[in-house]
Amino acid sequence: MNRQHRGSTQLALAGLAIIAFAGTARAVPSFARQTGMACEACHTVFPQLTHFGRMFKANGYTLDNLKPVRGVTATRDEMLALTGLPPISLMVQASETWLARPLPDSLAAGSAQNGSVAFPQQISLFYAGKIAPQLGAFIQITYGNDTGTIGIDNADVRYANSLVLPQDRSLIYGITINNNPTVQDLWNSTPAFGFPFASTNASVSPLAATAIDGTFGQDVAGIGAYAFWNESLYAEFGAYRSAKQGATNPITGAAAPLDGTTSNVVNGVAPYYRLAWEQAWGRHSLELGVYGMDIKLYPGGSTPDAPVALTGPYNRFRDLAQDLQYQYLSDEHQVTVAATRIHEQMHLDASFASGASANAGNDLTTLRIDGTWYWRRKLGLTAALFSTTGSADAALYSADPVAPGIGVVNSATNKPDTSGWMAEVNYVPWLNVKLSLQYTAFSKFNGGGGNYDGLGRSASDNNTAYALLWFAY
């Protein structure tokens, strides 16, 4: 569900629609071309990583088995080491989505069309691979049918190096610059590369999501330093700051500096941290970890009638999460179980003062667990449970933002609670082509099971069937 949380609580606080690329996780054939290794070395099936894939990422996407184009000085100092092939990939997603019950028409009596075709849902171009020794990148540019435009998607540029320690233990260390907290993470239990790896953009998204759960993808930029000791202990610390796409300074017309007319601007920097331990035995591996973020936001959104500068009260979101990932990988069976629990404390000084929230503080807890089994990397089944619960807030969750009487995206109970399950069947005829059928069932949506919006819509009306063709080259 994480990819559906675009209309998140935090951004709704200031009435901002976040940049709307679906932000699904990726894996790219340019890595395979660069390393000369099949997808299976790094993935169970894309985009889920194996241990070797995690190490490839930690090492900065730089493992390169191609003959480079080189440049050296007279003293043999290396000046250039270009990969023999440009690390470019193309990815296409086409899909169809059915809702259990059609949405109401936004203006007239009747229903919106059901059975939404997305061709394409997304087309992405990647630069994914080595730039120079110790320097690599995963940069995605996406056209999405929801925006109808091309823009930056996930990006992670890395410097990585390694040391050999006594007793032949390794220490990989590096710096990542990225635009989506957790996109740089190595496990599929954290939000950016967690299940579902692709999801529809033609259904109904729940009201609430925590800040670290994809809410700020492509809306911030951060720099982090990390170390991975002996392929077991991973630690990272970073900080994010607003890096808005498409925002302009009203005085100069330039891309920045941001002022009060821009919504949801990070106050200072938002620290991000991550600690994880991975243990392998035989064909099994287990990861346990924590991660979190502390983000302060100025609501902004200044208008001539209601001017506000980027000073004064702000909203603060403190996210603390735990995660777990288990893998069993053989040639016949590939099993991955991933889980995370994210708890968020909201201190809504700015929103409370303006009446955008009824409480000065709220909390939100998201729990997800998913299990995937692949047979020979050909046929896959995934089952997942998801739940978000939190405190009731009459101002934050009850408003009907589209128009009175429409409902669908509001909560009659003023609660953010959403829960349910997902099932997915995958067929992978080639390792870079995937056909998926996905079903999402809600037992609770925006605080209720039946009539959650006060206008007769039930949580199960938002159950979604989604068929996807996904390939990359």
Candidates 280, 360, 402, 437: give the one binding another protein (CB under 8 A): 280
Cβ-based burial of 91 (10 A; exposed 0-12, middle 13-18, buried ≥19): buried
Q: Tell me how many residues contact another protein (CB under 8 A).
A: 30
Site for another protein in 357-396 (CB under 8 A): none
Query: Phi first, then psi: what are they for 208, rounded to 5°?
Result: -115, 140
In angstroms, what is the minimal distance from the CB of 35 to another protein?
5
Site for another protein in 414-443 (CB under 8 A): none
Q: Which residue, 45 or 459, is less far from another protein as judged by CB?
A: 45
In angstroms, what is the minimal distance from the CB of 230 to another protein?
8
Q: How many residues does the chain have?
A: 473
Taking CB under 8 A as the binding criterion, the range among 95-103, 109-117, 279-287, 397-405 that sits at the site for another protein is 279-287
String of contacts with another protein for each residue 48-87, x by CB under 8 A: ---xx--x---x---xxxxx--------------------
Q: Does 295 bind another protein (CB under 8 A)?
A: no
Site for another protein in 113-172 (CB under 8 A): 162, 164, 168-170, 172
Q: Does 38 bind another protein (CB under 8 A)?
A: yes
Q: Which residue, 167 or 311, is less far from another protein as judged by CB?
A: 167
Q: Does 326 bind another protein (CB under 8 A)?
A: no
Candidates 281, 403, 405, 430: give the one binding another protein (CB under 8 A): 281
String of contacts with another protein for each residue 86-115, x by CB under 8 A: ------------------------------
Write a three-state SS string for the chain: CHHHCCCCHHHHCCCCCCCCCCCCCCCCHHHHHHHCCCHHHHECCCCCECHHHHHHHHCCCCCCCCCCEEEECCCCCEEEEECCCCCEEEEEEEEEEEECCCCECCCCCCECCCCEEEEEEEEEEEEEEEEECCEEEEEEEEEECCCCEEEEEEEEEEEEEEEEEHHHEEEEEEEEEECCCCCCCCCCCCHHHCCCCCCCCCCCCCCCCCHHHHHCCCCEEEEEEEEEECCCEEEEEEEEEECCCCCCCCCCCCCCCCCCCCEEEECCCEEEEEEEEEEEECCEEEEEEEEEEEEEEEEECCCCCCCCCCCCCCEEEEEEEEEEEEEEECCCEEEEEEEEEEEEEEEEHHHHHHCCCCCCEEEEEEEEEEEEEEECCCEEEEEEEEEEEECCCHHHHHCCCCCCCCCCCCCCCCCCCEEEEEEEEEEEEECCEEEEEEEEEEEEECCECCCCCCCCCCHHHHCEEEEEEEEEC
- Token output for 357: 């929230």
Candidates 128, 270, 329, 422: give the one binding another protein (CB under 8 A): 329
Site for another protein in 194-253 (CB under 8 A): 230-231
Q: Which residue, 5 or 57, is less far from another protein as judged by CB?
A: 57
Candidates 15, 17, 36, 360: give the one binding another protein (CB under 8 A): 36
Q: Which residue, 42 or 270, is less far from another protein as judged by CB?
A: 42
In angstroms, what is the minimal distance from the CB of 32 to another protein?
8
In angstroms, what is the minimal distance from the CB of 70 to another protein?
12
Q: Which residue, 67 or 107, is less far from another protein as judged by CB?
A: 67
Q: Which residue, 230 or 245, is less far from another protein as judged by CB?
A: 230
Q: Which residue, 34 or 95, is less far from another protein as judged by CB?
A: 34
In angstroms, what is the minimal distance from the CB of 53 to another protein?
10
In angstroms, what is the minimal distance from the CB of 348 to another protein?
45
Binding residues (CB under 8 A) for another protein: these are 35-38, 40-41, 51-52, 55, 59, 63-67, 162, 164, 168-170, 172, 230-231, 280-283, 329-331
